[in-house]
Structure 1
Amino acid sequence: MGGKFYCMTVRMNIDCNGCYQRIRRALLQMQDLDSHMIDRKQQRVSICGAFVPQDVAIKLRKRTNRRVEILEIKEVDAGTDPAAAGGGLKLICE
């Protein structure tokens, strides 16, 4: 893969708890993802990890039978701190 770390934001139609669970289950089955966040009110899904963004969008579309609109893709080098590179991520370990 070349060490590329992506943070992608997509818009999906999340109508009910069933839709939410279907999206969540599809994301949990994908191996290359480090983290995800599903925002029901904004109807957006944020995905971070070492993956090919187009492939993840296609898999998400096929597994959920929902339209997936890619809003933003940020690329961060795996060797640098994502927060310092403008990725917007801050990891806190206690």
Structure 2
Amino acid sequence: MARQVCMVMRINLDCNSCCRKVRRVLLKMKEIETHLIEKQECMVSICGRFIPADVAIKIRKKMKRRVEILEIQEFSNVGV
């Protein structure tokens, strides 16, 4: 089982339709609990129980754009 993870990625989001497309892709992924899209910084932050590399590859395939992982923060199962 994947652990609770927060990941920050850089994706080239040059227009509003790119933001809508990445939002649609993220909402369809069951393992992602929350997401934040920052269009000006071209950054996407996601949190949930997933394997970061797998999610990055899935987003890259669906968006047909380069995805750069900037930061990965794992949380231990405290209180579970």
TM-score norm. by structure 1 comes to 0.80
Pairing 1:41-56 to 2, within 5 Å after superposition: 41-56=40-55
Runs of 4+ in 1 over 3 A off after TM superposition: none
TM-score norm. by structure 2 comes to 0.93
CA distance in 1 between partners of 2:76 and 2:33 (Å): 14
Structure showing the higher helix proportion among its residues: 2
CA distance in 1 between partners of 2:28 and 2:76 (Å): 24
Higher relative contact order (CA 8 A, sep 6+): 2
Q: CA RMSD in A?
A: 1.1
> The residue matched to 1:61 in structure 2 has which SS?
helix
Give the paired residue count.
79
Alignment match, 1:37: 36
CA distance in 2 between partners of 1:66 and 1:49 (Å): 22
Alignment match, 1:13: 12
Query: Which structure would you say has the larger Rg?
Result: 1
Q: Percent same amino acid at aligned positions? A: 49
Structure showing the higher strand proportion among its residues: 2
Gaps of 5+ in 2: none
Gaps of 5+ in 1: 81-94
